Amino acid sequence: MPLRLFNTLTRRIEPFAPLHPAKVTLYTCGPTVWNYAHIGNFRTFVFEDVLRRYLEYSGFAVLHVMNLTDVDDRTIGAANKAGVKLAEHVKPFTQAFFEDRDYLRIEPATHYPAATTHIPAMVALVERLLAKGVAYKGEDGSVYFAIAKFPGYGKLSKVEGRTLKDGARVDSDEYSKEDARDFVLWKAAKPEDEAAGAAWDAPFGRGRPGWHLECSAMSQQYLGETIDIHAGGVDLIFPHHEDEIAQSEAASGKPFARVWMHGEFLQVDGTKMSKRFGNFLTARDLKESGWDAAAIRYLFGQTHYRKQLNFTDDAIKAAATGAQRLAELRRRLAEAASGAAGGNAELGEVATSMETGFRAAMDEDLDVPGALAALMTFVREANAALDAGDVAPAARQSALEAFDRVTGVLQVVPGPARGGADEAWAKGMAEERRLAKATRDFKRADEIRKALLDKGFEVRDTKDGGYEVRRVTPPPTDT
Ligand SMILES: [Zn+2]
């Protein structure tokens, strides 16, 4: 059965096939690095990680881009409040995001373009929209997108934009559906932008990009005009993704993303997370409390990504117990692989049926709760087969391999991460190093070079200003 995914654009579950066979282009909206990302953000990033890993498990190569929003209303506001330049303010939060990503076992993206290092691509996109007559310069000096000139406006969020009065405008990055109107592409520089070092010259006036423009420009630069999957949290459907579609499709005349996927909210103790309610949780809070990332991913996996998830103390404790049972079974399977030989093949049969059940669940719009259920049934059956003894060596080996393949997608087994993501990790780290060098953070660039070497990868700069990364020592043998 082929993979089927829920497409927010059509509100239907549809069979998935990439534009180019065997290669999937995936764009996921990344963090705004004005502060630490909270676990609601990471619920979305983990859902996207499971999507990516399952696509890879299914035989696709995935070209994955996640942007870093390092210039927008919030980052500039936070930098000014702290009395520092934008670049200085976002640096530790960018670094913290990568640390949290590694803690939560999220496979690094192929590219992490930061908005401030891609200004020329954004300027070019605004010029293209101005030339096509779908953008105009307001008397405030900012450039706006005229939604009345783009008939498809509202098709993702089902917001009807054309009924609005001509010239009604909004210049903030975030606004509500009731505020659907011409949105800002390029904001004329204000004193607070200059103070934060967040203004650039452009043919249509000195200023800085609007948040929505960043994703359209960088997505096109790295993935082309039409991408296979664009994902993010449900809160991004409007205005962010609606505006991305308008900008991209008005410029290219082609469909922007073929499939739109959105992860639902996370609540803590039944309420929306908020500093005011004292239930605001970051990934580092969970790490400091001693939770293994596998327990968090197990907890996330118990609720389908399109349903709201409630994060409670009891739920994380129960998830940690479930994850621990998986770790114990893996230990038994690995030990049994070197034990006495028998003729009982049952263990191999229950492993095959587990993997079939896993695939059937995942193929139906990433039903991770169903996949976990198949895995927990396997825990019972495999333990029973091991208790009975006399297990055939081939059955043990195939059971262990099936278990590692499946948990390699879900990453729900405490202890060392498994799943052969080393190469992807190295590529992601090399890209981070390029980013660090572009922002003149040479200390970080050197740390990354050393971290890569520790894992047997060498990164070298090439003459054309790029880099290459290659393995210099064989991968360590897994035990
Ligand atoms: Zn975006």
Give 73-108 pLDDT, tens digit per residue.
999 999 999 999 999 999 999 999 999 999 999 999
Torsion of CA 120, 124, 127, 129, to 10 degrees: -130
Q: Which residue has the higher pLDDT, 373 or 178?
A: 373
Cα 49 to middle of ligand 1, angstroms: 16
Average pLDDT over residues 243-260: 98
Looking at residue 389, its pLDDT comes to 85
Residue 359: per-residue pLDDT:
98
Q: Is the peptide bond before 239 cis (omega within 30 degrees of 0)?
A: yes
> Does residue 478 carry a pLDDT above 50?
no
Residue 30: pLDDT over 80: yes
Name the more confident of 393 and 46: 46
> Span 34-48, mean pLDDT?
96
CA of 194 to the centre of ligand 1 (A): 24
CA separation for the pair 31, 341 (Å, rounded): 51
Q: Answer yes or no: are the C-beta atoms of 303 and 297 closer than 8 Å.
A: no
> Is a pLDDT exceeding 90 seen at residue 168?
no
Q: At what angle do helices 39-57 and 293-301 cross, to 10 degrees?
A: 80
For residues 331 and 337, give the distance between their C-alpha atoms in angstroms, rounded to a whole number: 10
Number of residues in the chain: 479
**Cα(28) to centroid of ligand 1, in Å?**
7
pLDDT at 337: 61
3-state secondary structure the chain: CCCEEEECCCCEEEECCCCECCEEEEEECCCECCCCCEHHHHHHHHHHHHHHHHHHHCCCEEEEEECEECCCHHHHHHHHHHCCCHHHHHHHHHHHHHHHHHHCCCCCCCECCEHHHCHHHHHHHHHHHHHCCCEEECCCCCEEECHHHCCCCCCCCCCCCCCCCCCCEECCCCCCHHHCCEEEEEEECCHHHHHCCCCECCCCCCEEECHHHHHHHHHHHHHCCCEEEEEEEHHHHHHHHHHHHHHHHHHHCCCCEEEEEEECCEEECCEECCHHHCCCCEHHHHHHCCCCHHHHHHHHHCCCCCCCEEECHHHHHHHHHHHHHHHHHHHHHHHHCCCCCCCECHHHHHHHHHHHHHHHHHHECCCHHHHHHHHHHHHHHHHHHHHHCCECHHHHHHHHHHHHHHHHHHCCCCCCCCCCCHHHHHHHHHHHHHHHHHCCCHHHHHHHHHHHHHCCEEEEECCCCCEEEEECCCCCCCC
CA–centroid distance, residue 474 to ligand 1 (Å): 38
Please say if the pLDDT value at position 420 is more than 60: no
Tokens of 426: 């190295």
pLDDT (average), residues 373-391: 95
Supply angle C-alpha 326, 394, 478, rounded to 5: 50
If pLDDT is split at 50, 70 and 90, which confidence band does 419 have? low
Q: 168 C-alpha vs ligand 1 centroid, how far in Å?
A: 23
Residue with token string 């409630």:
310
Residue 476 predicted with pLDDT over 60: no
Q: How many Cα atoms occupy the beta-carbon half-sphere of 307 within 13 Å?
A: 13
Of 331, 418, 382, 421, the C-alpha closest to 64 is 421
Inform me whether the pLDDT recorded for 162 exceeds 80: no
- What pLDDT, on a 0 to 100 scale, did the predictor assign at position 364? 98
Gap from CA of 232 to ligand 1 centroid (Å): 8
- pLDDT tens-digit readout, 285-328: 999 999 999 999 999 999 999 999 999 999 999 999 999 999 99
377 C-alpha to ligand 1 centroid (Å): 39
Position 276 scores a pLDDT of 76
213-237 pLDDT per residue, tens: 999 999 999 999 999 999 999 999 9
The pTM of this model reads 0.88
Percent of the chain surpassing pLDDT 90: 74
Tokens of 32: 């705004």
Tokens read off for 46: 């983990």
The pLDDT of residue 479 is 39
| CA 361 to ligand 1 center in whole angstroms | 29
For residue 66, the CA-to-ligand 1 centroid distance in Å is: 9
Distance, CA 208 to ligand 1 centroid (Å)?
A: 16
Q: Compute the distance from residue 218 Cα to the ligand 1 centre, in Å.
A: 9
What is the whole-number distance in angstroms between the Cα of residue 257 and the centre of ligand 1?
12
* pLDDT of the residue at 338: 61
Q: What is the mean pLDDT of the chain?
A: 91
Among 11-25, 134-148, 177-191, where is mean pLDDT lowest? 177-191
pLDDT at 474: 61
pLDDT reading at 195 higher than 90 = yes
Is 90 exceeded by the pLDDT of residue 268? yes
Confidence of residue 277 (pLDDT cuts 50, 70, 90): confident
